[in-house]
Structure formats: structure tokens, C-alpha cells
Structure 1
Amino acid sequence: MAAGGTLEEGTRGGFRATMAPYFRPRPIAALLLGISSGFPLALLLGTMTFWLAKVGIEKKTIGFAVGLTTPYTLKFLWAPLVDRLRLPLLTPLFGQRRAWLFLVQALLFVSVWMLGASQPELHIGAFAFWAIVTAFLGATQDIIIDAYRIEILPEDELAHGTANNQFGYRLGAFLAGVGTIAIASPEGLGLGWAMAYGLTGFCVLPGALAALWVGRGLHDHVVRDEAWQGIGRWLETTLVGPFREFLARRGALLILLFVLVYKLGDAMGQAMLNPMIVELGFSDTEFIAINKVIGFWGLILGTALSAPLLAWLGMGRALFVSGMLMMLSNLTFAMLASQGHSTLWLTIAVATEQVTSGLGLTIFVTYLSGLSSLAYTATQFALLSSLAGVGRTWLAAPAGLLAEGLGWVGFWVMTAVVAIPGMLLLWILWKKGFVVASVREARAMAEAPHDDEAPAAAAPAAR
């Protein structure tokens, strides 16, 4: 603090300095990209499970319907093509990332309209088909946006840009959840599910506008440099290189296992949250109002706290603290289940979940972003986020059966217990030096040459 300044002035100055990076152009663009990235999966998870419960589909079927989002767990398979395959006309005009983004968003807009019109209570086959198409296009959009976000954010803006991106992601999910339900519900606008899903499809627009605003990603020069290489070299660079480079790192398998199970308890809870809300007798109006007021501001708070928490604690401690808080949020839903139709406990549970989930997901994605080499951004981030999706999609698929067998209270306690292996793996990674103190060190580890014979002491120190 400058001489003669007051403590209050110093506090205000420090707060402004902490918050200022959130409002820079590229972090704001990351927020807009996040809105477009966040809405498709929300339509296929929270909103879809609410919809299916409302039309009388049983819990165990709803649990396994989450498997329709399988493309999110397999997106690493086609991420290399998105990374390197040039689109005629579009790539020369817009660049690699934006060309793919605009094409996929146009197709995604159509598929969301068709999904909303599918009437699952009458035509479950058509519903499943359009859900899978939407999941494939939504996962492909994630590949593009994740890579583009990492490439457009300079290192000193990566944590704040990632936080903004996750806020946008959660905002997109909020619009696709609460917003879509409000449009469809007779207690809201009453326009029905087809119109509600169709209107939500316009959430592709913020990401498209951000891409037009920011311009080409850093990856475009790589694609141009490889344009005249032979097919063998292209396949080597596209299909083999990203996976070989990552797996050659020390601790690669432990890191992949950690990514797989870290958010498993949270994923199992999310799969069955809306069916429980319906079963406990909450009206659409109660659900929408609590999510709109409490949930939205909880989301803002949790996401905004993530970058300062990372700067204060370092990556390892931040992952541990956010993981413990997500476990705590699941126990608040156990309390809600024990109380039954209690608006007080629904408010407490929603507030806790939104704050802790916004905090935890942002920190987790920042960790994954730091692990992705800039040479293979789309493919490596897709590999890591796909593994996280396996926990959400298939390991969490039996959640409906477990809810039926354990009851709601037992189910939510079980989701907290399921989170323990992820915390233990985090402790092991931390002790071995594979969870570094900052994004800078993570990026240095990702970009450095790998030597399988290097001693353990060569790894960056964890905080």
C-alpha cells in the first residue's frame, strides 16, 4: 500500500487487482464460449432426467438413460481429427478452431430442436437417437471450445479465463436446466418441451459471437505448417503423437486414474437429483424459484472464488479443499431427503451444491488445462475430460438402482463415501509431486521433454 493510503483504500485496491483479470477481453470471451459449451450436456442430464420423471419413466430407466451421453466419454477418439483435419472453404476463411465450431454449432442447433420434439413417453427410440446425436455434437463442440479457450488465453489469464469459462458453462447449464423447465412447465410459460428445447438451442450464439470477436486460435499455424506433409506423417502427428506424448510423462497412469474417479460421487448425485426433487413433491415453481435465486448466486460465488483460492492455496490444496466441499454438499441432500418436502433444506442443499460445484469444477478444469500440451491441445484435453465423463456416464449409470435399493438418504451418504478413493489418489499424486503448485508449473511439465529414467526429484514440487 502506498504511503499515506488507508487500510480501506489498500483493501479496495487489492480487491480490484484480484477481480480485474475477469473483465479482460479474452476471459470475457471464455465466459461466452462457456455458455455455448455448457447447455447441451445439461439438456441431456439434469433437464432430461426431470423431463423423464415428469412423464412417468421409472428411476432405474432414468439412471441408465444417462448412458445416452456416452459420446462425451469417447470424444478423445475423434479429437485428433478436430485438431488437424482442415475443412474445405471454412478453415481458410475462419481458421481451424472457428471453422469446426461454426459447422458443429449449426448441426447442434438442429439436433436440439429434434430432441425436444421426440416425445419420449411415446417414441423412446426417436428420443434415444436424437439424444445420442445431440451428445455427439455437444461433445465435439466441447473439444473445439476447450482447445480454443486454452489457446486464446495467455498464461497470466488462464486461471481467471478458466474460471470465467466455467461460470459461462454453469450459466449455460442453468439456462438449459431452470430456463428450459420454466419454458416447458405449465407453472411457467407452458410452451411444452419441444419449444423449450428449441429455444434453448439458441445458446450456441454466445460462443459463435465470441469466436468472431477474438479471432483465430494459436493452433492455426500448426495446421498450416502440416498442410503439405505426407499422409504418413500426418497420421503420426494426428493420431499417435498426442497420446504417446502424454503417456510418456511420469505419473501419467496415476493422473488418468485420478481424473476418472475424482468427481464420481458428485456425478452419481447429479444423475438422480432431479428425480428425487420430483419424488419429494416439490412443484415446478418451487424448484425453479430456488434454483433461480439461490442457485444462480451460489454459482457466481463459487466460480469467482476459484481463481483467488488457487492463487492462495496452490493446485494441490485447492483440489483437496474443493473435493471435500463437494462431499459435504452431497450430505446436505441426504438431510433434504430425511426431511422430505422442506423448502428450507432444498434451499440449503442447492446453495451448497452450486457454490462447491462451481468452485470444484473450475479448479479441476484449470488442472486439466495445465496438463494439456499446446502442441496437442484438443486431443489431450479431450482425453482427460473424456475420462472424467466415464465417471459421470457409466460408473454413475447404476445410480438409479442404488437409489431404489438404499433409499434417498442412504444413496446420498453413499455418494459421499464414493468420493473417498479420489481424495486418496489426490494425496498419492500430491506426495509424488504430480500435482504441481500452479498452472505455470503444470504447463512447464506438459511442454518439457520427458525422460522415463529421470529421478523423482526432477518433478516440480507440489504445494
Structure 2
Amino acid sequence: MAASFNTSPVHTWREAFLVYLKPQVVAMLFLGFAAGLPLLLVFSTLSAWLREMEVSRSAIGFFGWVGITYSVKVFWAPIVDRLRLPLLTRALGQRRSWMLAGQLGIIVGLLAMVACDPETQLVALALCAVLVAFSSATQDIAIDAFRIESAVTEYQGAMSASYITGYRIAMLVAGAGALYIAEFSSWMWAYVSMAALMGVGVITVLLIREPRHEINAQTDDIESHLIEQVLHHQPQTRSQRLAAWFASAVVAPFVEFFQRNGRFAILVLLFIGLYRLSDITMGIMANPFYLDLGFSKTEIADIGKVFGFFMTIAGTFIGGLLVVRYGVFRPLIAGAVLVAVTNVLFAQLALAGPDLTWLAIVISADNLSGGFANAAFIAYLSGMTNRAYTATQYALFSSLMTLPGKFLSGFSGIIVDAYDYHSFFLYAAFMGIPAIILAVVVARHNGRHLQGMEAEESNAVKS
């Protein structure tokens, strides 16, 4: 049998398009909106509010630390995975209850921010922003788990495409929309309006159906074995029950992942860390590059808003469609190639100079390839999780997929200063080669794994 990225289509084109009409896919549009809305309200929109209130740039810079909350959500993901909330979990289920709790925390945090005076209560405002970010990250954990558990792997591309579309719309609303409201009314009404719009997420949670959350026999054996190793007997005291919970909720997800994938688990984690390396490495230098090349802020904003927004949406839609049509791995490989090639286009723009046509081409290609690759990659990560530990394992993957790129992006300015933008973007393109190679290796491994499973099933039938 050939590797999985060369197998026959999973679905027809008609079936692939109709996936976007499935209730769970439509629901992700609104959940994506709820997830995307808080982000800018504790980042760039908040920075604009603080600066208008004449808060110092140094103090505003410290507010950037609020974003660390999103990067460390893996630490409380096991709680979201296993801890039942009083009353809410019984009424709504595990995923919906945590989504609702996160949304209520966001609403309370936004309204509390309005009650703070940035000139005299800056610390209190910062704590309210942390509450919004923490609640938002918690909502993200629950939404990711809900998305994975609500659909099979080949539908995850469409689920992520719908989610990203809602997310992007929310960022426009929380960015440009909040600024318009603040301009024509006040910052108070801007944040109150955003808090009210979180009602979109609340209503969605109340309408959707809780997915099945099961622990299979193999997973149950892993947890029982871990508890036996830690306690040597069944937990009896409160501290022993806490230790047993820690073993099953925190340790077991990682043990299960390495047992399921064996030595190949290290390569999988390496692939996850490197897949978006090329994309993230160059991202921080994009706007300085446009400005240094001679484009005006208006030209960057106009082309970025029009082409950037719609091309990202188009890319995620196409990526999700092809995952349904052909499975995960062929789009995954294509996405890695497209992202690397796009950086070569940036290098060409560095030679072409301030040409608006080239700027439109590069921004279109960058957002189209980024959306495409992201949809395919999210589908792959979703398929790699065990549904007994969806929230914990996906939080690990989502944190890992941005960490190397964020680290290397810190050196991007040094490379530009030492050489030039043309050399930097070629370097960024070169950084995408390991992702392409590993995508092929992972796809071939998956093909051999499926072939082995089919052989075992065939032998079982014959015997």
C-alpha cells in the first residue's frame, strides 16, 4: 500500500463542500468569534486606550506580559480536561461547562476593566486584563477539545477553517470596531460593547450538543498502572486521591502519547515544533520590511486589510476542503512547501522595491499559504490527540508549535542588520525545508502504520 498522502480521495468534491454545512462546523464559526474577540482587547486595543490616557510607553510595554498567559495554558489544561465544575458540568457537560465558565470570566474581566481608571488604578486594570486573558485561554482549551471530539479527523480541516474565519472576524471587531466606538463614543462603551458581543459565544454554548468524552480500555489501563506505581494501592486519604488524580490527569496524557507513538514520538514533537518555523520566524519583520522598503502605512494597511483578511479566509477554506477530499497528509505537505515558497516571494519583493502590485501579490500569497497550512496542520494535530486527554495533549501541541519560531524570531533583526532583507527572507525560506522533509517522513510513517494495521486485520479474519 502506498503512503497515505498518495491514497485515493477520502470524499467526493460534493461531500467535501457539504462538510461546511454540518451543524458542528457552523458552530465553530461562532465559537471562533468568541475565542478571537478578547485577544486584541488585552493587546493592541488596550495599548491604544492606555496611550490615549497618557500612560507611559514603559508601563504599556509591561502589559505585553499579559500574553504569557496564552503560552502557558498547558499547565491548567489537565484541570479543564478532568475537573467537573459544580452544577455547570452536570447541566452542560465537561466541554460546554468550561467554555461557559471562560466566557463568563471574560465578560466579568472586560466590565471590570471599564470600572478601572488607567491614570490612578493601573495595577487593578492590569489584573483585570490578566483575568480576561486567563479566561480566554481557558475558553480556548475547552473549544479545542470540543472541536476535536465533535468530528472525525478528516473533518478537522473544515472545523479549523470555520473556527479561524470566526476568529478573524472577531479580531476585526475587537480591533477596528472597538476603535470606532471609542472614537465616536468612549472607551467605556467600546469595552461594554465587546463584553455584550461575548453573548454570541454564550448563546452558542447553550445551543450546541456536548460531544462524547470517553476513556477507552487501553487508556484506563495506563492510568491504573500509574496509580499503582505511585501509591502501590487504591487511594484512601485525601492526599492519596489528589496524587491519583495528578497521575491520571497530568502524567497519563504524556505517558499515553509516548506509548502510542513509541520512538517515533520524538520525531512527531520535532515536526510539530518545526512546521511553522519558517512562517513565524519572518512574521515579526514583515511590517518593518514594508516601511523600510518605502511603502506608506496607509498602503500597508489598505492592502493588508483587503488582501490579508480575505486571502487568509480563502486559504483556510481551501485547506479544510482538501483535508476532507484527500485526507490530512497531502495538504500538510503542500502547506509546508507553500509557506517556504512564499518567503522566496518576500525576497523578490526586496529586490523589486516599493511596487504596489508586488506588495499585493506577496501579502496575498503569504496569507493564502498561511491559512492553508494552518488548517491542514490543525487537522493533523487534532488527529494526534487521544480523546481521553484532548484538552491536555492539544494544549501541549499548540504551545510547542509556536515556541521555536518565537525564539528564533528574536534574532531576525540581527540577521537583517548584518546582511539585508533579501538574505533574511531566503534564510526564512530555508528554515522551512526541515518541515517539508519531516512532513513527508511523517506521512510515510503513517502509511506504513496503516498498512500494518490492515495486515493484522486481514490475518485476524483469515484465522
TM-score range normalised by the length of the shorter chain: 0.7 to 0.9
The DSSP-based 3-state class of the residue aligned with 1:303 is helix
* Unpaired stretches in structure 2, ≥5 consecutive residues: 1-11, 224-233, 457-463
Aligned residues: 419
> How much has 1:150 moved relative to structure 2?
1.3
- Is the CA contact (8 Å cut-off) linking 2:349 and 2:358 kept in structure 1? yes
The DSSP-based 3-state class of the residue aligned with 2:343 is helix
Query: Partner amino acid for 2:255?
Result: R
2:316 to 303, 314, 319: 303
Whichever of the two has the greater Rg, that structure is 2
1:208-245 deviation digits (Å, cap 9, x = unpaired): 322211132322899xx99x986243232211111110
2:253 to 238, 242, 246: 242
Structure 2 counterpart of 1:363? 376
2:99 to 101, 119, 144: 101
Does the alignment pair 1:160 with 2:158? yes
Change (3 A) 1:401 1:288: same
1:33-72 deviation digits (Å, cap 9, x = unpaired): 12222344466678789999999999xx98x987653333
Change (3 A) 1:398 1:134: farther
- Is the CA contact (8 Å cut-off) linking 1:49 and 1:274 kept in structure 2? no
Structure 2 counterpart of 1:80? 78
Where in structure 2 are the equivalents of 1:399-414 lying within 5 Å?
A: 399-403=412-416, 405-414=418-427
- How far, CA to CA, are the matches of 1:401 and 1:26 in structure 2? 45
Change (3 A) 1:205 1:399: farther
Does the alignment pair 1:208 with 2:219? no
Query: Partner amino acid for 1:282?
Result: S
TM-score of the two chains, using structure 1 as the length reference: 0.74
- Is the CA contact (8 Å cut-off) linking 2:145 and 2:390 kept in structure 1? yes
- Is the CA contact (8 Å cut-off) linking 1:272 and 1:400 kept in structure 2? yes
Does the alignment pair 1:317 with 2:315? no
Change (3 A) 1:272 1:124: farther
- Is the CA contact (8 Å cut-off) linking 2:350 and 2:421 kept in structure 1? yes
Structure 1 counterpart of 2:432? 419
Query: Partner amino acid for 1:240?
Result: V
Change (3 A) 1:356 1:392: same
Where in structure 2 are the equivalents of 1:220-259 lying within 5 Å?
A: 231=241, 232-248=243-259, 249-250=261-262, 251-259=264-272
* Unpaired stretches in structure 1, ≥5 consecutive residues: 1-13, 446-454, 456-463
> How much has 1:361 moved relative to structure 2?
0.4
Where in structure 2 are the equivalents of 1:289-300 lying within 5 Å?
A: 289-300=302-313
TM-score of the two chains, using structure 2 as the length reference: 0.74
Where in structure 2 are the equivalents of 1:35-434 lying within 5 Å?
A: 35-41=33-39, 69-111=67-109, 133-154=131-152, 157-177=155-175, 179=177, 199-200=193-194, 204-219=198-213, 231=241, 232-248=243-259, 249-250=261-262, 251-277=264-290, 280=294, 282-284=296-298, 286-338=299-351, 341-403=354-416, 405-431=418-444, 433=445
Mean Cα displacement is larger for which, 410-419 or 199-208? 199-208
2:26 to 28, 37, 41: 28
- How far, CA to CA, are the matches of 2:200 and 2:88 in structure 1? 20
Query: Partner amino acid for 2:148?
Result: I
- How far, CA to CA, are the matches of 2:196 and 2:276 in structure 1? 29
> How much has 1:134 moved relative to structure 2?
4.4
- How far, CA to CA, are the matches of 1:140 and 1:335 in structure 2? 41
Change (3 A) 1:318 1:154: closer
- Is the CA contact (8 Å cut-off) linking 1:37 and 1:142 kept in structure 2? yes
1:304-331 deviation digits (Å, cap 9, x = unpaired): 2113322455433321211111123334
- How far, CA to CA, are the matches of 2:361 and 2:329 in structure 1? 28
Query: Partner amino acid for 1:297?
Result: F
- How far, CA to CA, are the matches of 1:69 and 1:114 in structure 2? 19
- Is the CA contact (8 Å cut-off) linking 1:49 and 1:275 kept in structure 2? no
- Is the CA contact (8 Å cut-off) linking 1:98 and 1:211 kept in structure 2? yes
The DSSP-based 3-state class of the residue aligned with 1:215 is coil
- How far, CA to CA, are the matches of 1:169 and 1:38 in structure 2? 4
- Is the CA contact (8 Å cut-off) linking 2:159 and 2:320 kept in structure 1? no
- Is the CA contact (8 Å cut-off) linking 1:94 and 1:216 kept in structure 2? yes
Change (3 A) 1:29 1:352: same
> How much has 1:81 moved relative to structure 2?
0.7
- Is the CA contact (8 Å cut-off) linking 1:66 and 1:393 kept in structure 2? no
- Is the CA contact (8 Å cut-off) linking 1:315 and 1:436 kept in structure 2? no
